[in-house]
Structure 1
Amino acid sequence: MAESVVFCVIQAVGELLLYEARYLHGIRAQLEQIQTKLRRLQAISKIADAKQEEDERIRDWVAETRESAYIAEDILDIFAIEISLRKEKSLLQKYAGKWKEYTSLHHLGPNIQQIEAKISYLESDWRVSNIITIGQGDILDYVSERRQQIRRTYSHHEEDFVGLDEDVEKLVAHMVNEDVDRCYHVVSIIGMGGIGKTALTRKIYHHTEVRSHFHAFAWVCISRKWREEEILKRILNKLVPENREHINGMNDISELVKELFEVQKMKKCLVVLDDVWEKDVWKSLRPAFPNRKLGSKVLLTTRNKEIALHIDTDTKCFSYEQRHLNEDESWELLKKKAFPGIHMEVEDEFASGDEYEDARSSMDSFHSCLSDEETDEILGNVNTPRSECDIQDIRVQEDIEKIGKEMVGLCGGLPLAIIVLGGLLMTKSTLNEWRKVHQNFNSHLRRRRSLQENGIVYEVLALSYHDLPYQVKPCFLHLGNFPEDYEIPTRKLFQLWAAEGFILSDCHPSEEQESIMDIGERYLRELVQRCMVQIKVEESTLCLKSCQLHDLTRELCLLKGKEENFLIRIPLSDDPKLIGSSSSSSNSTSTSLIHRLAISVDSDIEKYFPPESENLDHVRSAVFFSRLMNRKHLQSTLELLCNGFKLLRVLDLERFDFGEKLCKDIGNLVHLRYLSLRGSQFYKLPSSIGKLKFLQTLDLRVPYHACLTIPDVLWKLTQLKHLYLPPSHKSTSKLQLGSLINLEILKNFDTRVSDFRDITKLFKLRKLTAILCVEMENLEAIYNSLTLNANRLRDSSFRIRFDFDSPRELTLLHQLVGGHHLRKLDLVGRVAKLPGHSHFYERITKLTLRNSSLEEDPMVTLEKLPNLYSLILRKNSFVGSVLRCSARGFDQLRTLEFQGLSFLEGWIVEEGSMPNLLRLTIDECISLRMVPEGIKFISTMREMLIFNMPESFKERVRLVEECGNNFYKITVRETNRDHITDFENPQGNTFSGLLRIVSPSLVPRDWQNP
């Protein structure tokens, strides 16, 4: 990864030369010379990175180059900060400090000379050693070519699955079998890492028979550093999410075990325990699972056959040992990944005349992975054989197939290895490129140092890693920061990459209009395309939501990160490694060569940083993962971080308790680009936060109850691109944000705290979430400003506190709901008449109405919104007596909530309405007589929550079974209780939905038992 680090130094030098020319008196020529030499060194490093596995001398040279580049980057960072601070001085201070400026440059001069000498030495050492000859073609930059190759779509459909269909059906049959004498309580899937246990389990978990058989589902991944309390809470939160607050407050394991046991007695639950490493996991969890007579079951995956045998000693367990793919299945899977609709370019050779029919015949064996159009394109646009026709030689396809089958044969039938290999080959479009991959693949296998069961997977992953573009390599290694099985939010990930210097928006002329998010997404696509990262997509917007690493891919991240001194990850431990300790103790961690720290902590962060901590000034990133809110005050540790980590660019301290006020020393971290305090608890932000001039991302989303006081200093942070204000905050004076002209994301902007006019000055905004509580004229000004910025603004969400009564006000409402960037809207106040559905922006996904006092049925309009996923009607937003949801209305609606509709008496749901509804909530609608009969037609609904409803209403609610098999859970919460009262349904006639009336006399005739 030396090439990536050298590239970052080139960028740092370039920024100094471009923006700070006036401060480079006496050293500008030296910097330009360094930049030229660095470009040559980058070209050498690119080849060295690819060849270092072949020669120990190359590995040593790469390591030395990488560390030298880090040192150079540190020196340049320090100088850039000195220049930034000097810019802030008054004119008098500038003249008074002139001698100090020259003194600073005088001290910098020798450092610059040291960098230049080191680069010259590395170049000379490379030439003298004659390690490898570099051809001109080897140093061509192919970034632009790769950018064109990357597809702009995501494989977010069902993952590739080859073979094992019969096995799936067999396992599903075991899952739904209720014969007490013949059924199994636990089903174990056993297999080595990378064989596809999780993919097979996911296939079963989402199978239609399984989804209809069980009433509640939980999937938890068991990390190697597992904790019984955490696993139990995660299972319960999935099975009864409405009890989340109560569950998270439980600290007694015996209480959690009892709670989980009772939940499974009340409803059929399927619990997946994915990737169990130790027998003690089941031994600890076993008391929480009832026997098979109650219908709940456990689906477990493990690499250790002994775990399944251990389970079978006290519980009836069916063990399935997952097989490897056979030769045909392996080739089929490789074709799916390597040939997603592309055709191969052919070099030098041509088919002609009599060879045409032979070419067409030989194509048959390869035709299964190509369309007819692609076949014709390969063979050439000819209808009859002609000797003079230059068509691409189909024998090349035979060569490609031969090469592909040889490589896939070495993958040992392991799906993960085949998928990653396919992702790598998908980026190769010529026969020569395939031959090169084949050569490198064989070379890697010959040099395999590890003979463990996952050796082949590691080698395929390593091959794919070495083939990554240099910009993407550090992004991939950075994923090792995150804990095992962690779902990584993509927006946060891109911001971290930018803060680390991995994303530079001006590195190519064609990227000038791209934001950090755009470039980060492009880099992540590269990893997704190569099957090195798994992703989740936001259903409503089809945007990337999160990504995750397979555990073997993560192990490669950590292995390479350690080899390249890129990252130290310290997992949760009762005996943690001490950071920066001079002690020679075995449990201490030297950070002399490490530039990034990722630490999982529990309750005592101080134990990781002893008072004698030292040698921390080179650490550039410190990311902390706290599993639960860390209640201990951390001022002393935070002071150590702020004063010891002098070059820190990233500080992520989420979910910690800092007491009353964050320590003022935070202002000492002048290099900081990323600061997140999300979910942490404190009530005052120090004014020293204004010293962080280079900050790009600031996340202050503390809990809502901690109303944060923010000093009016944020306007100084002119490099900010992403500002997340707390959901509840205040200031002694209006916050001035108009100077933050580089902002691309602004969250929780509140006109009661900030000057509304500032929104009109932020022309680079791409995402805006705001509370607007202003007068008519001001609201119009905001709308006009957003309209001017419509081409750049992509996503906006508003809570608007305003009464729309007059014609002028209603006209403004029509304009607001039609904004071509509006995603979510929360209207608080009277609305004389709701705009027609054609006035709403078609991509709005969430709408909330409060105190609207609408007399006309709003469903007539709202059910026509094509992408509405969530609708909430609260606090007398509707004051009529009847709501009607017509057939084919609310086609995309997933959640529906009625709260405080005091005048609502009846609700009619026609068959075909809300076909995708998942959750319904009815709360404090005191006049509503019953749940509509039409709910029975909604087969997708999984949950209905009822709060604060009269007894007469609750008596009519009951759980029902569908088609003799299918029944779901209805929960009723009473205001005077903390628990959920559940109603279990009897066997009998059913309908596709959730309701049956408790009192037989009130059951509609067509619902009653035959």
Structure 2
Amino acid sequence: ESIQAFLKDADRRAAAPNGDNNGEGVKTWVKQIREAAFQIEDIIDNYMMYAEQRHNFSHLFKTLKQRHKIASGIRDIKSLVRGIKERSERYGFQRSLDQGSSHSRGSQNAKLYPLREAALYIEEADVVGFETPRRILMEWMFELKGRKDPTVFSVVGMGGQGKTTLVKKVFDNNKVIAHFHYRVWITVSQTYDVKEVLRDMLLKICKQNPPQNINQMDQRSLTEELRKYLRRKRYVVVFDDVWNVKFWDDIKNAVIDNKSGSKILITTRNEDVLKSCKISSSTEVLNLQPLTREQSLKLFNKRAFKFDSGGCCREDLIGIANEIVQKCKGLPLAIVAIGGLLSTKEKHVFEWQRFSENLSAELKKDTHLIEIKDILGLSYDDLPYYLKSCLLYFGMYPEDYEVEPNRVIQQWIAEGFVKEEQGKTLEEVAEGYLTELIHRSLVQVSSIGIDGKAESCRVHDQIREMILEKFEDLNFCKEISENDNESPPLFENRIPKNYKLLRVLDCQSTSMLNVPENLGSFVHLKYLSLGSVEILEILKFIGMLRNLETLNIRSEIVVELPKKIRKLGKLRHLTCWYLSLIQLEDGIGEMRSLQTLRSVNLDMEGAAKIIKGFGELKQMRDLGLINVRKEHGTILSSSINEMQHLERLVVVSRHEERSYEVIDLNLISLPTKLQKLTLEGILHKLPEWIPKLQNLVELTLRKSRLTKDPLKSLNCLQHLLSLNIGNDSYEGSCLHFEDGWFQKLKKLNVSCISELREVIIDKGALPSLKELSFGVLWRLKNIPTDIQHLEKLEELHFSYMADEFLDNISTEDWNLMQHVPLVKISNNDGICIPNPWS
């Protein structure tokens, strides 16, 4: 606590504007304190490990050498703290933040909003000031002007001006989706590799069936393969954030001139990039202009007052708001960053005035050019201390990398960034941290699920540049590459000994083939994620990694967990495509910290004992089971009844011979927090407990063989957002959505129901539906009735439909669907038929 107090105060003083403390001396001092803090953490970690070993293996502590090592470590801690205290007094540091600037204090009472509301933060700049540029780009996308060769569009503007946001909005437009056969988005790093760019394009074009030797292809082979796929296809390719003037020369031969009206979009800050494009292609240039004062103020108000005053600026703050916005020079990134910062502060005139003065000091009034990095730096300085390391951690991922929230949250926890709060799990606390970073516009939401939760997030490239500068200032992270003198650990068979305190090892996206032979000695490891590696080698070491909290194995083979896995009492998340517990005849009930367990193969002798042990896992949030047998029903129901925190449940009764058994679940004490449920197996009738799951937002039924239309019962699920009825889940011939049913449903998929002949949608049903999909319904003769009343529908798909269905689509039917931006209909060979609007 003492060292944390010094570190917080030093960090605040280094960030304070207009003060004598804001010099290189203080920055150096901050770095030294951080180094001392890390050393203390290391000593404590080692001490705790020795203490645990003493508890389990008392003979390990009998030698004088080991006693001396522990005593020496404790003396080192005391010496470090004394030295910090003495030097802090020379610098005038206080061990309290009571006298601090508004930077830290203003954030202590920051509001926290659930991650489910992440949809509110997705690129708000796209609705302010982009109307005209978006209209121009849409016209260019469809206006051929007699030219059929690939036309190159370039969007040019300063960093933070919204180039990516604008182009992404056009790229994801439903009319664009319907018009082009292929859509490919490529983010081009400053140090791009041509082969990697071409390989990425090829993977995105032929993602269903990529060439087998794609990883071994050279540049010429990749180019030829791309040209083969693009021949006679209409495509749009976006190259985002191009810096190098030679990029077009490197890539132009791959984007074939197929006379089909294809489009290529390039975003760049460098106007010289356009010159090489103009030499060989038809080129249009859109120069983004800064937002006007009115647009800037509108965007600022939406951000700063999102949850106050209905998004409108309070009258007493209008003058100061104008001053602040004027200093942002019309740059959307700067505006949303400042707006996000001020949204966490009290709406007091004095507080805002002081902030405006600090902002002026940061931007140096004598310059005419906005320094966006100063504004982003100010946003970083304003963060509460506990959020700074969390934001910096995003710099560990590659440029423009989109990371899943669960992944970064679990890594924050492993690194020790997340502090316990009463009544919450560490994951819930960390989710609040991520939400606050999103709320402050320092982290962007890239995609959201149907439930409004973020599915992936990233940081803007300029924020990442700021983070990398902080890496250097704070000695937070060091990147090791093949070109460095220090050999990178993953290119060898062993991890260097000086990495012995490693907490996170994430090889999920690497091609590492062998497990480091000394992995078991890294006993401080808390997060381990591995891709295509030798599974048996991993399992040899598992029992030694007693501090492990997350184990993620990306393997397509069955992973047979050893008995030693039970020693991992701290394990919270265990995920693999196929997990076998055949060696764990006594079950895994001892692993009471588990919150995530999937997917467990129960096709084994002694499965009943394993399933009974699941009832001890009372912290379980996410459970996936496969090869569940009918006789497991009673004992499995009993165990699930004990999981009152369960949020996601997947139960599959499929066996290796592809047959399905009855899923016989009778949940009496319902897991009231259950939000996502998938049942794949025979039900015959809908279980009575399903309509009682009032927090359920996603439901998938496959192979259910229901004899009665389940819709009336499922309509009781008032919060249901996504419904998937597929693969012989229903044996009837008609599905009828009656007036008033499914008020909140946004996504509906009906597929592979062999006897379905008719779908009736009454006026007033499904009023919130956005996405409607039908597939492999070979007895369906006509489009659903009253489909024209689904006013919010954005996507409508009929896939692999019978010829009779296609023949019956009349001009009147097309007119009924004309209000839907994206309509795709394909025959039983998967070939899309043209619609009258294309």
TM-score (norm 2): 0.84
1:703 pairs with 2:613: no
AA of the residue aligned to 2:555: P
Q: 1:756 is paired with a residue of what secondary structure?
A: helix
Matches within 5 A, 1:414-563: 414-429=331-346, 430-446=348-364, 456-505=371-420, 511-536=421-446, 538-563=448-473
Q: 2:597 is paired with a residue of what secondary structure?
A: strand
Q: Is the 8 A contact 1:804 1:831 kept in 2?
A: no
Matches within 5 A, 1:164-203: 164-180=130-146, 185-203=151-169
Aligned match of 2:628: 773
- Against the structure 1 CA distance between its residues 439 and 214, is the aligned structure 2 distance closer, same or farther, given a 3 Å change threshold? same
Give % identity.
23
AA of the residue aligned to 2:699: K
Q: What is the CA distance between 1:689 and its match in structure 2?
A: 1.2
Q: 2:535 is paired with a residue of what secondary structure?
A: coil
Which digits, 9 at most, give the CA deviation of each residue in 1:869-901, with x for residues without a partner? 252532x55455x343546677736463634x5
AA of the residue aligned to 2:253: P
Matches within 5 A, 1:723-802: 723-729=574-580, 731-734=582-585, 736-752=587-603, 755-771=610-626, 773-774=628-629, 776=631, 778-790=632-644, 792-800=645-653
Q: Among 472, 479, 484, which residue is 1:578 paired with?
A: 484
Aligned match of 1:978: none
Q: Which has the higher contact order (CA 8 A, sep 6+)?
A: 2
AA of the residue aligned to 1:68: A
AA of the residue aligned to 1:526: E
Q: Distance in 2 between matches of 1:668 and 1:512?
A: 33
Q: Is the 8 A contact 1:330 1:408 kept in 2?
A: yes
Aligned match of 1:1004: none
Which digits, 9 at most, give the CA deviation of each residue in 1:464-512, with x for residues without a partner? 111111111111111100011111111111110011110122xxxxx22
Q: Distance in 2 between matches of 1:773 and 1:465?
A: 50
Q: What is the CA distance between 1:301 and its match in structure 2?
A: 1.0
Q: Is the 8 A contact 2:705 2:730 kept in 1?
A: yes
1:719 pairs with 2:573: no
- Against the structure 1 CA distance between its residues 166 and 536, is the aligned structure 2 distance closer, same or farther, given a 3 Å change threshold? closer
Q: What is the CA distance between 1:758 and its match in structure 2?
A: 1.7
Q: Distance in 2 between matches of 1:728 and 1:134?
A: 50
Which digits, 9 at most, give the CA deviation of each residue in 1:789-813, with x for residues without a partner? 42x333333224699999xx97x45
Aligned match of 2:3: 38
Q: Distance in 1 between matches of 2:381 and 2:365?
A: 15
- Against the structure 1 CA distance between its residues 542 and 138, is the aligned structure 2 distance closer, same or farther, given a 3 Å change threshold? same
Aligned match of 2:299: 333
Q: 2:505 is paired with a residue of what secondary structure?
A: strand
Matches within 5 A, 1:881-892: 882-886=733-737, 892=745
Q: 1:567 is paired with a residue of what secondary structure?
A: coil
Q: 2:354 is paired with a residue of what secondary structure?
A: helix
Q: Is the 8 A contact 2:515 2:537 kept in 1?
A: yes
Which digits, 9 at most, give the CA deviation of each residue in 1:920-952, with x for residues without a partner? 432xx7x74767576986864465543xx9999
AA of the residue aligned to 1:178: L
Q: Distance in 2 between matches of 1:339 and 1:137?
A: 28
Which digits, 9 at most, give the CA deviation of each residue in 1:340-364, with x for residues without a partner? 3437xxxxxxxxxxxxxxxxxxxxx
Q: Is the 8 A contact 1:215 1:967 kept in 2?
A: no
Q: Distance in 1 between matches of 2:220 and 2:113?
A: 51
Q: What is the CA distance between 1:230 and its match in structure 2?
A: 3.8
Count matched residues. 811
Q: 1:542 is paired with a residue of what secondary structure?
A: coil
Q: What is the CA distance between 1:233 and its match in structure 2?
A: 4.7
Contiguous gaps of at least 5 residues in structure 1: 1-9, 11-36, 344-366, 376-396, 506-510, 582-607, 610-623, 625-633, 975-980, 995-1010
Structure 1 or 2, whichever has the larger Rg, is 1
Q: Distance in 1 between matches of 2:232 and 2:668?
A: 50
AA of the residue aligned to 2:617: L
AA of the residue aligned to 2:302: K
Q: Is the 8 A contact 2:162 2:333 kept in 1?
A: yes
Q: Distance in 1 between matches of 2:586 and 2:103?
A: 46
Q: What is the CA distance between 1:729 and its match in structure 2?
A: 3.6
Contiguous gaps of at least 5 residues in structure 2: none
Q: Distance in 1 between matches of 2:324 and 2:726?
A: 58
Q: Is the 8 A contact 1:216 1:267 kept in 2?
A: yes
Q: What is the CA distance between 1:255 and its match in structure 2?
A: 5.9
Which digits, 9 at most, give the CA deviation of each residue in 1:142-195, with x for residues without a partner? 789735533444324661343242333233222221331699822211011111
TM-score (norm 1): 0.71
Which digits, 9 at most, give the CA deviation of each residue in 1:46-104, with x for residues without a partner? 44343497222212222221212222222221111111111112xxxx3x55542x653
Q: Is the 8 A contact 1:215 1:968 kept in 2?
A: no
Which moved further from structure 2: 104-113 or 758-767? 104-113
Matches within 5 A, 1:304-343: 304-342=270-308
Q: What is the CA distance between 1:694 and its match in structure 2?
A: 1.2
1:284 pairs with 2:202: no
- Against the structure 1 CA distance between its residues 247 and 266, is the aligned structure 2 distance closer, same or farther, given a 3 Å change threshold? farther
Q: 2:578 is paired with a residue of what secondary structure?
A: coil
Q: 2:37 is paired with a residue of what secondary structure?
A: helix
Q: What is the CA distance between 1:696 and its match in structure 2?
A: 1.2
Matches within 5 A, 1:199-278: 199-207=165-173, 210=176, 213-214=179-180, 216-235=182-201, 238=204, 241-243=207-209, 251=217, 257=223, 260-261=226-227, 266=232, 268-278=234-244
Q: Distance in 1 between matches of 2:534 and 2:100?
A: 53
AA of the residue aligned to 2:289: R
Q: What is the CA distance between 1:528 and its match in structure 2?
A: 1.4
Matches within 5 A, 1:812-831: 812-813=665-666, 820-821=673-674, 823-829=676-682, 831=684
Q: What is the CA distance between 1:823 and its match in structure 2?
A: 1.2
Q: Among 467, 485, 494, which residue is 1:639 paired with?
A: 494
Aligned match of 1:676: 529
Aligned match of 1:137: 99
Q: Distance in 2 between matches of 1:958 and 1:286?
A: 43
Q: Distance in 1 between matches of 2:215 and 2:723?
A: 29
AA of the residue aligned to 1:45: A
Q: 1:468 is paired with a residue of what secondary structure?
A: coil
1:48 pairs with 2:16: no
Q: Is the 8 A contact 1:664 1:686 kept in 2?
A: no
Q: Distance in 2 between matches of 1:965 and 1:341?
A: 32
AA of the residue aligned to 1:568: K
Which moved further from structure 2: 541-550 or 888-897? 888-897
AA of the residue aligned to 1:761: E
1:126 pairs with 2:32: no
Matches within 5 A, 1:956-971: 970=825
Q: What is the CA distance between 1:554 and its match in structure 2?
A: 0.7
- Against the structure 1 CA distance between its residues 720 and 728, is the aligned structure 2 distance closer, same or farther, given a 3 Å change threshold? closer
Q: 1:686 is paired with a residue of what secondary structure?
A: helix
Aligned match of 2:312: 369
Q: Is the 8 A contact 1:156 1:536 kept in 2?
A: no
Q: 1:578 is paired with a residue of what secondary structure?
A: coil
Q: Among 479, 495, 510, which residue is 1:569 paired with?
A: 479
Q: Distance in 1 between matches of 2:381 and 2:329?
A: 21
Q: Distance in 2 between matches of 1:838 and 1:295?
A: 50
Q: Among 725, 747, 751, which residue is 1:898 paired with?
A: 751
Superposed CA RMSD in Å reads: 4.2
Q: 1:138 is paired with a residue of what secondary structure?
A: coil
Q: Among 678, 688, 696, which residue is 1:843 paired with?
A: 696
AA of the residue aligned to 1:545: E
Q: 2:548 is paired with a residue of what secondary structure?
A: coil
AA of the residue aligned to 2:48: A
AA of the residue aligned to 2:163: K
- Against the structure 1 CA distance between its residues 168 and 283, is the aligned structure 2 distance closer, same or farther, given a 3 Å change threshold? same
Q: Distance in 2 between matches of 1:447 and 1:640?
A: 51
